[in-house]
Structure 1
């Protein structure tokens, strides 16, 4: 099982690497390394700068397509394992943070996914900054929170953003430069991701698939 997981994890790491280097980065290497210990069985960590001596802590990389000084940095990490049936790769958790500095002291936002999270939505984005509206709401609340402590839902387990969504955001909002043809690379990866999520939904909801197929039969009679 671990060998099958390793193969799928490395293929996914290559997809992430190609998506980044084909659009907003250069020379980024996304490795897949087996974690030393995990409570949910074998888990691989995917990220930049991982190795046998550093299996769990990916390092940030600049968002640039040339040798100019980067305007932003990304810190990316995926924890992947096989599903409960031991057949398909599944993301156990993921993190994608955008920073203004290599030391990761100034964060713009980060997208997070934590499977089966109890206290807030599993897929969410947290944004750093100041919100007058939140400050006004805090005045009437016993629990005062800053903007970055709000977990804003982004599609749930199946429809959460993919790396291509983050890439498109960075380019269109002029936070990173994009290579020529980045739109095609983004759309290709996004369609691949959505197809895999749709297949997973179908496997978990065969009754919905049967209902849909029956509707097609009924429409054809």
Structure 2
């Protein structure tokens, strides 16, 4: 059962996501769903941000209250850049899984594309990992770049939604006002501050040691 405090914190985060989405898509709306079967209680926040270049930035967050400190925490998140319409395979996807059930990086990129160089590298590679051995075992299935999980900073230093939107603005030429661009850049800096605070909270001894070396 989702408690009131979790609802409040999730609503605050949803409001933040709503503001970000509206910077690019004025019709954007965040969807909220309680995942009643999850333990601890979890809420999913998701949305599709439509751009002017036939691109959609889709995101999903699963959030819960950390039992150690009561802070709203992301269990999983996905950012997808989709060309065309919702439901199509994305061009690229950024995933974060707080507690992965296999040896994939907890924060990684999956590129959904077909390239001969990648196929050859995956087919002709070694067998020193479980995933590579599984790939050889299923040799009749041609591997794809989407089968590879690229690390992108781990639990603490993964990219935020603002950074993904800045990526599509820069790489795909998506329209963006100067005010929206500044807001996205500020949001990314705020995200970095939040993650730094969390890193300090989890490693106070290291923080004290480093601060002691800083010149006053």
Q: Name the TM-score class by shorter chain.
A: 0.7 to 0.9
Aligned counterpart, 2:116:
132
1:171-190 map, 5 Å = 171-174=169-172, 176-190=174-188
Partner residue, 1:57: none
CA displacement, residues 156-180 of structure 1 (integer Å, 9 cap, x when unaligned): 1100000011000000012532233
Q: TM-score, normalised by structure 1?
A: 0.83
What is the CA-CA distance between 1:86 and the residue it aligns to?
A: 4.5
Structure 2 counterpart of 1:113: 96
Alpha-carbon distance in structure 2 between the residues aligned to 1:128 and 1:148: 5
Partner residue of 1:122 out of 106, 112, 116: 106
Residue 91 of structure 1, aligned match among 70, 74, 77: 74
By relative contact order (CA 8 Å, sep 6+), the higher-ranking structure is: 1
CA distance in 2, matches of 1:31, 1:136: 41
RMSD over equivalenced CA pairs, Å: 2.0
Partner of 2:51: 63
For residues 120 and 32 of structure 2, the distance between their equivalents in structure 1, rounded to whole angstroms, comes to 45
Paired residue total: 200
Distance 1:31 1:4 in 2: 19
| C-alpha distance after superposition, 1:94-149 (max 9, x if no partner) | 11111112242242111111112132001111111122321222342426521111
Give the equivalent residue in structure 1 for 2:37.
Answer: 37
Structure 2, unaligned runs of 5 or more: 126-135
Change beyond 3 A, Cα 1:83–1:16:
same
Cα distance in 1, alignment partners of residues 54 and 60 from structure 2: 21
Unaligned runs of 5+ in 1: 49-59, 65-69
Give the structure 2 partner of residue 214 of structure 1.
Answer: 212
Q: Is 1:79–1:93's contact at 8 Å kept on the other side of the alignment?
A: yes
Report the counterpart of residue 51 of structure 1 in structure 2.
Answer: none
When residues 139 and 42 of structure 1 are mapped into structure 2, their CA distance, relative to the original with a 3 A threshold, is closer
Contact 1:72 1:175 in 2 (8 A): no
After superposing the two structures, state which structure 1 stretch, 126-135 or 4-13, moved more.
126-135
1:72 deviation in Å? 1.1
Cα distance in structure 2, aligned partners of 1:9 and 1:31:
11
CA contact (8 A) 2:93 2:109 kept: yes
